[in-house]
Chain A
């Protein structure tokens, strides 16, 4: 303990030498990554020893790892010494009024039908205290607390529920899992924490939008969701509005743990800045998402609609450990202009009678590249397991690319794995048919694409589904001449 204090003291004393800049509005450290930086982050967050150890193990491991090159992606070199790895949430507004915000962004808000106050919040305009939303948040927190549900930022959880963190952190995604997960484990800033107690059904959809301090969780987000025995939760990540973010590199980690007979539904609509029409700028999104169906008859569902980011590297996966556990992956990934996406899932069957379903719908337009990469592995012990995979690709125009990389490994003879794949093009004749009924080409494409993705969109919570539909249409604007 004394050692620890000494170390902390040293680190905090040394802060200044490393150019710690502290003022009221911002709180950042010097750019670059080193063991010192990892220690500073942990110290700044007043973390317990086990967290620092976790970070340091991850950092040391990361140093020995190489950026993965197997994806169907062209990734420009990333200079990790040019990145600032810690920035506390900034309270300061970027703009005084919406007039200063990029009109293109406002036009998109308009089309999505986002309320004005929310528009301001999303684009970083100073917002007056909105009585309504404050009271909504308060009622929300009370309802959850009554049932013993914990829903807070990761940092708060580390402070108030260190036992849960210590027990479950890294269970689905170990610190040394992959290059980006190791990086995240070393430097993650904040994120969300959810714990649903035994026998509890979460009475509402949990959305980061309602979480106080959800703004600016940063480039290295960490989410941990634990569903105890016989519990249920539906979690919504992100926001359908386009988030402009100066951070180019994002490497988040999401871990889900479902215990006996628990069910977790995780829905994402990802709409980060994809770069401009010529492929300049945009977010690089390297995400590790994994759930463990740890308990018997547990269930994890990943639903995602991905339209943003310049580069997406993301494979929400499930380890079906408990007997009779069930996993689903439903995905729509849309790429336009010069976007690149290499996304898919892994279903690892370990328990008996486990069942997984994969429905992947890729949509490519412009000069984009869209790949599905999936692994279905059935271990020798996973008797009578089943997987059904369906991977469809839809192409708009002839300058885009779609690829499918399904890997299937089955190590017992009582299991059944099915894989179906299709590739189709939006036909000019379909668009013309809509035109002839008075529907403009843009609306026709939106309608056809949404029809194609309907199976997945229907799995999203209602209000998410409506916005996802609009989003697909907006993301394809101007993609067909």
Chain B
């Protein structure tokens, strides 16, 4: 599904990614872990086409297409979703209007007719129940006045509405209390199918208690320095990232 080859990227003139290689197949969950500043969020942003990040070398294919040649909105419509670490507020734009536009843009891209208002509201109700989001939130402006936890729940709700083939969750666990973490994780697990894939970007092991990955990659100074199965998380939790640094001979 996703093939990243020798990817280099810059932010504000500074090299952050220095040769990432990663392959994600349908049905898989990958966790990308690493100390602060290792390039985790940069990788997430580069993949979804944030123009503040400049790719200087390498290639990314997504379902056989050249991902880097697409604009951000096309990447989204091709099935790529980012759950933002810090979702922005858009005052005056209702969640309903925002999501209706988004869903219908996706449909248009697939040559499907737009959903009627009735069908759309029905879909919203279903997905709201699925991810256990408070009905009140969807009556408000996009993320406006939402608490940290509500914003993260709202991201998962949008993911449920858009049904991406590859979802990237950037530090979704940060700022969540244990109940919210459970609800959010539950939503992600429910949305999992053999045809889609998930990349979890996280600093802590705790999210991985709820969403169990197939693979864990450790990102350090812009490179994936270690890849293993889910047991790696426990080892990291126990020994910390210093252990990796030592292993690398630093």
Show the binding face of A for B, using Cβ within 8 Å: 427-430, 432-441, 443, 447-448, 450-455
Contact = CB atoms under 8 A, between A and B. Distances in A.
Contacts of B93: 447-448, 450-451
Interface string B62-96: 00000000011100110001101001101111100
B48 A430 contact: no
Contact count band on B:
20 to 34
Output the residue of B72, B88, B162 with the most chain A CB within 10 A.
B72
Nearest to A437: B102
23 contacts: A427-B88, A429-B88, A430-B90, A432-B50, A433-B90, A434-B90, A435-B49, A435-B71, A436-B48, A436-B76, A436-B84, A437-B99, A437-B105, A437-B162, A438-B102, A439-B105, A440-B71, A447-B97, A448-B90, A448-B92, A451-B90, A451-B92, A451-B93
Contacts of B141: 451
A432 B49 CA distance: 9
A427 B86 CA distance: 14
A438 B77 contact: yes
Contacts of A454: 92
Output the residue of A430, A436, A452 with the most chain B CB within 10 A.
A436
Given A432-B50, A447-B93, A451-B93, A437 B76 contact: yes
Nearest to B101: A439
B92 A435 contact: no
A455 B142 CA distance: 16
B49 to A, nearest CB: 7
B73 A435 contact: yes
Contacts of B87: 433
B102 A430 contact: no
B184 to A, nearest CB: 18
Contacts of A429: 88
B109 interface: yes
A375 to B, nearest CB: 27
Interface in B29-53: 48-52
B152 interface: no
Contacts of B158: 437
- Chain A contact residues, majority secondary structure: helix
A107 to B, nearest CB: 20
A300 B92 CA distance: 26
A28 B106 CA distance: 56
B243 interface: no
B92 A450 contact: yes
Given A437-B158, A438-B162, A451-B141, 8 more contacts: A433-B84, A433-B87, A434-B102, A436-B49, A436-B82, A437-B98, A438-B105, A448-B90
A454 B101 CA distance: 17
Contacts of A437: 76, 98-99, 102, 105, 158, 162
B26 to A, nearest CB: 21
B98 A447 contact: yes
A439 B73 contact: yes
Contact of A432 (B72, B77, B98, B162): B72
A274 B91 CA distance: 28
Contacts of B162: 437-438
Nearest to B75: A436
A455 B98 CA distance: 17
A432 B92 CA distance: 17
A452 B91 CA distance: 7
A233 to B, nearest CB: 30
Contacts of A443: 101, 105
A430 B87 CA distance: 9
A451 B82 CA distance: 23
Contacts of A452: 91-92
Interface in B93-123: 93-94, 97-99, 101-102, 105-106, 109
A441 B71 CA distance: 10
B153 to A, nearest CB: 16
Nearest to A442: B73
Nearest to B76: A438
A450 B94 CA distance: 11
A230 B101 CA distance: 44
Contacts of A430: 88, 90
Nearest to A449: B92
Contacts of B91: 451-452
A454 B97 CA distance: 12
Contacts of B52: 428
A223 to B, nearest CB: 32
Interface string B156-186: 0010001000000000000000000000000
The 9 A-B pairs with the shortest beta carbon distances in the complex, nearest first, are: A451-B92, A451-B93, A435-B72, A438-B76, A437-B102, A438-B105, A435-B73, A438-B77, A454-B92
Contacts of B84: 433, 436
Output the residue of B71, B73, B91 with the most chain A CB within 10 A.
B73
Contact of B73 (A440, A448, A451, A453): A440
A447 B101 contact: yes
Contacts of A438: 73, 76-77, 102, 105-106, 109, 162
Contacts of A455: 92
